[in-house]
């Protein structure tokens, strides 16, 4: 069985052309991770998830996050497979807020991250976003998450998040 491994050059071409359907069948791997929706950054656990995902790529050899792309487990291989697109309007993402989260959550600062929302060829009002984390100098690694999120139940049994 052949697997569709999408390297960063191929993904970039797909993003530039807006032909996102070409992502379908691609496999997540060490340089590519997909999320169904943008991070919900009013939620501390999502702040941590963003910081974790980006710092993991920065601590390795870089990578690419795609937002608006659904993956599912495959019975044929270990990586998740891209199965569906979930495009969203450009107003649905706030890269400045993402940058602020990284400033507060990750030390030292990760350099030269590329943030972009890409319109779809079929409907330019909707698209997907990419966050490209380039390889970082070994002299500034490791990148550490400087905060934690703890979830605990209060007396009423409701869960409460603390930072």
On the question of pLDDT at 3 being above 70, the answer is no
Grouping H, G, I as helix, E, B as strand and the rest as coil, residue 32 is strand
pLDDT classification of 46: cutoffs 50, 70, 90: very high
Spatial separation of the C-alpha atoms in residues 150 and 163, rounded to whole Å: 7
Tokens of 124: 């330019």
Query: Contact, 66 vs 33, CB < 8 A?
Result: yes
DSSP state of 41: T
- pLDDT, tens digit, 9 for 90 and up, residues 95-143: 999 999 999 999 999 999 999 999 999 999 999 999 999 999 999 999 9
Number of DSSP helices (H) and strands (E) in the chain, helices first? 3, 12
pTM for the full model? Answer: 0.88
Residue of 113, 117, 110, 114 lying closest to 94 (CA atoms): 117
What pLDDT does 155 receive? 44
On the question of pLDDT at 30 being above 60, the answer is yes
* Cis before 108? omega within 30: yes
pLDDT classification of 153: cutoffs 50, 70, 90: very low
On the question of pLDDT at 93 being above 60, the answer is yes
pLDDT classification of 2: cutoffs 50, 70, 90: low
**Sequential DSSP letters for 71-120:** EE--SSSSS-EEEEE--B-GGG--HHHHHHHHHHHEESPPP--EEEEEE-
């Amino acid at each position: 069985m052949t697997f569709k491994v999408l390297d960063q050059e191929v993904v970039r071409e797909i993003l530039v052309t807006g032909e996102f359907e070409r992502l379908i069948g691609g496999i997540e791997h060490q340089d590519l991770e997909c999320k169904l929706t943008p991070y919900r950054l009013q939620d501390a656990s999502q702040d941590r998830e963003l910081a974790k995902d980006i710092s993991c790529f920065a601590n390795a050899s870089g990578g690419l996050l795609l937002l608006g792309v659904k993956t599912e487990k495959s019975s044929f291989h270990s990586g998740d497979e891209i199965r569906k697109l979930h495009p969203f309007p450009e107003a649905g993402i706030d890269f400045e807020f993402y940058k602020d989260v990284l400033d507060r959550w990750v030390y030292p600062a990760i350099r030269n991250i590329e943030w972009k929302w890409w319109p779809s060829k079929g409907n330019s009002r909707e698209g997907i976003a990419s966050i490209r984390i380039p390889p970082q100098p070994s002299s500034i690694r490791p990148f550490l998450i400087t905060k934690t999120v703890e979830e605990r139940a209060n007396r009423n049994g409701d869960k409460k998040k603390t930072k």
